[in-house]
Amino acid sequence: MLIPQEALPHFENMIYLPMVLTILAKDQQTFETGIFKLQAPYIKLTNHAINAVQTEMKESSDYLRQNKMKLLRGDMGDMFTTYIFLYHGREEQRRYLNVRLKNRTEELLELYLNSGPH
């Protein structure tokens, strides 16, 4: 039994969005404690992005739970990270290039920051 195609974006959200959230939280802390002439716009921008990421993560988490699916992180190497997609008692392992994980996380970070309050 293959994982349904509509489930893949939810699995991938649960890979990438926690990384995006970690970066945003660290950046927000830097804005709050750093020496900036005007902190508020940066904090507002990161808050908006954090809220959007958390909303999307919750939707994906709910989808996986409702469909009895789960994501586990497997082995991490220098070149690849393995993720295990669990679906109705079956598992599928997928390997992601670490550089691809980094690049996609950066793309998503840019997307969430660009969709901020205007």
pLDDT in the model for residue 86: 94
C-alpha to C-alpha distance for 117 and 91, rounded to whole angstroms: 40
pLDDT in the model for residue 88: 84
pLDDT in the model for residue 44: 93
| Residue 27 confidence (pLDDT) above 70 | yes
In degrees and rounded to multiples of 5, residue 34 shows phi and psi of -80, 175
C-alpha to C-alpha distance for 106 and 31, rounded to whole angstroms: 19
Instruction: With cut-offs at 50, 70 and 90, classify the pLDDT of residue 4.
Output: confident
For 75-92, how does the pLDDT look when each residue is reduced to its tens digit (9 = 90+)? 999 999 999 999 988 899
Q: Is the pTM of this model over 0.75?
A: yes
